[in-house]
């Protein structure tokens, strides 16, 4: 994987870059739609490409390990062939899902024993087997196995957990070197900064992660309930330390405003379930704020979903029709809303890139943040 930094914004730490892997080019800043179980929920791969056009999507080790399981993915020839997606894929390591989804998890130095949220069966993730599982899944970018601390988190726990994440990182790197690639294309490995909301821990962790010398770096443990200002403070501390010439990925973030603010702090890559999950609940993101399409207010509003017309659904369907689909709980409503939201998120990061390249990112960002901080 290579990363070319094209332009840095003169008035912020925003950057525009270009990541190249064996599955193609990723222009940064980028938003990666979440496709947890090898599907971006409700969107055909054909529509995903034609309408939303992401350079990269995300999958989850935790889910794919449980279902369809790695033997199926191996027999298919890897996740790209299995799901018919020939562009980039990133897999998260399970270092988040194991804490947020499974019951009865036990975290020890060796790894995490957890109970499946599907059938209650017991499994263990270690830094070693998570590297092997991610080799079998076959994403282009694979993540270190870490512990994502909750918010709030007391200092002593955060410190102990951060050191364990660092030791786990060393074990990931050692094991990865011994685990051959399975499908003939390369996999880039990203370590993850932790340290909760403590500045000194974040600094220490960012230094440790930077020293690992990976091709890209991630920031974890944020957007877990802390106020946005606290998140921005931590991002700022970390991006000041992580190497300039490597991509930086802020995991699980966030709202359109969070994304723009973090781009301004030097983040290049984002993922979040928000545009897809909230779409399924009838929440639409637009350049002028968010909409709850289920509200009575839209009952007789026959105007297009979004005048901007980023994707076909925005102009082919009205707000009243989409509201109706939600009120009768039709599948198509969720699909339309998902395509709209992902189209909007992709538009937002592409506009951000354009403005970074044009040199007026900060002015544009401040205007957009003000404009989007609104409920329609």
Q: Is 303 annotated as a binding residue?
A: no
Q: Which residues pair with 24 in a beta bridge?
A: 21
Closer to ligand GUN by CB, 33 or 282: give it.
33
Q: Is 69 annotated as a binding residue?
A: no
Q: Is 95 annotated as a binding residue?
A: yes
Instruction: Let me know if 373 is a catalytic residue.
Output: no
Closer to ligand GUN by CB, 29 or 252: give it.
252
Of 92, 140, 268, 314, which residue is the catalytic one?
92
What would the two tokens of residue 313 be? 């659904």
Closer to ligand GUN by CB, 157 or 364: give it.
157
Which residue's beta carbon is nearest to the bound ligand GUN? 220
| Torsion, Cα of 115, 166, 212, 56 (10° steps) | 30
Q: Is 121 annotated as a binding residue?
A: no
Instruction: Let me know if 92 is a catalytic residue.
Output: yes
Which residues of the shown chain bind ligand GUN in the complex (CB under 6 A)? 92-93, 95-96, 143, 146, 148, 192, 220-221, 251-252
Q: Is 221 annotated as a binding residue?
A: yes
Closer to ligand GUN by CB, 36 or 39: give it.
36
Omega prior to 254 cis, within 30 of 0: yes
Q: At closest approach, how far in Å is the CB of 251 from ligand GUN? A: 4
What lies within 8 Å, CB to CB, of 129 at 6+ separation is 111
- For residue 101, the tally of other CB atoms under 10 A from its CB is 18
Scanning 12-68, the segments in alpha helix (DSSP H) are 45-47, 61-66
Q: What CA–CA distance (Å, rounded) separates 332 from 337?
A: 8
Q: Which residues pair with 90 in a beta bridge?
A: 58, 141
What would the two tokens of residue 76 be? 């298919």
Closest by alpha carbon to 128, among 179, 94, 78, 194?
179
**109 class by beta-carbon count within 10 Å (0-12 exposed, 13-18 middle, 19+ buried):** exposed
Q: At closest approach, how far in Å is the CB of 59 from ligand GUN? A: 12
Closer to ligand GUN by CB, 270 or 326: give it.
270
Radius of gyration of the chain (CA): 20
Per-residue DSSP letters for 262-306?
HHHTT--EEE-SHHHHHHHTTEEEETTEEEETTSGGGTT--SBS-
Catalytic residue positions? 92, 271
* Binding-site residue ranges for substrate: 92-96, 146, 194, 221
């Amino acid at each position: 994987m290579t990363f070319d930094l094209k332009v840095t914004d003169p008035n912020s730490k925003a950057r525009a870059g270009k990541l190249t892997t064996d599955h193609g080019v990723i222009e940064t800043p980028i938003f990666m739609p979440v496709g947890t179980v090898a599907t971006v929920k409700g969107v055909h791969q054909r529509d995903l490409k034609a309408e939303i056009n992401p350079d990269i999507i995300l999958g989850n080790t935790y889910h794919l390990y449980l279902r369809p399981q790695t033997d199926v993915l191996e027999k298919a020839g890897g996740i790209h062939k299995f799901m018919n997606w020939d562009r980039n894929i990133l897999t998260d390591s399970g270092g988040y899902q194991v804490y947020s989804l499974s019951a009865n998890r036990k975290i020890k130095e060796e790894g995490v024993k957890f109970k499946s949220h599907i059938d209650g069966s017991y499994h263990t993730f270690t830094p070693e087997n998570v590297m092997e599982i991610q080799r079998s899944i076959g994403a282009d970018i694979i993540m270190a196995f870490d512990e994502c601390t909750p918010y709030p988190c007391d200092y002593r726990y955060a410190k102990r957990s951060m050191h364990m994440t660092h030791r786990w990182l060393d074990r990931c790197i050692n094991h990865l070197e011994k685990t051959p690639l399975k499908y003939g294309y390369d996999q880039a490995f990203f370590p993850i900064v932790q340290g909760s909301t403590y500045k000194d821990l974040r600094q220490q962790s960012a230094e440790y992660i930077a020293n690992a010398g990976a091709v890209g770096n991630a920031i974890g443990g944020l957007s877990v309930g802390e106020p946005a200002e606290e998140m921005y403070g931590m991002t700022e501390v970390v991006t000041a330390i992580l190497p300039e010439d490597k991509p930086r990925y802020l995991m699980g973030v966030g709202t359109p405003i969070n994304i723009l603010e973090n781009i301004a702090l030097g983040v290049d890559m984002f993922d979040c379930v928000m545009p897809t999950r909230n779409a399924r609940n009838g929440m639409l993101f637009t350049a002028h704020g968010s909409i709850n399409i289920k509200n009575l207010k839209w009952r007789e509003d026959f105007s297009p979903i979004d005048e901007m017309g980023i994707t076909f659904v925005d102009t082919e369907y009205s707000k009243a029709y989409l509201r109706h689909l939600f009120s009768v709980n039709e599948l198509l409503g969720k699909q339309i809303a998902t395509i709209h939201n992902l189209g909007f998120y992709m538009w937002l990061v592409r506009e951000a890139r354009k403005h970074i390249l044009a040199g007026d990112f900060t002015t544009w960002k401040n205007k957009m943040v003000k404009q989007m901080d609104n409920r329609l």
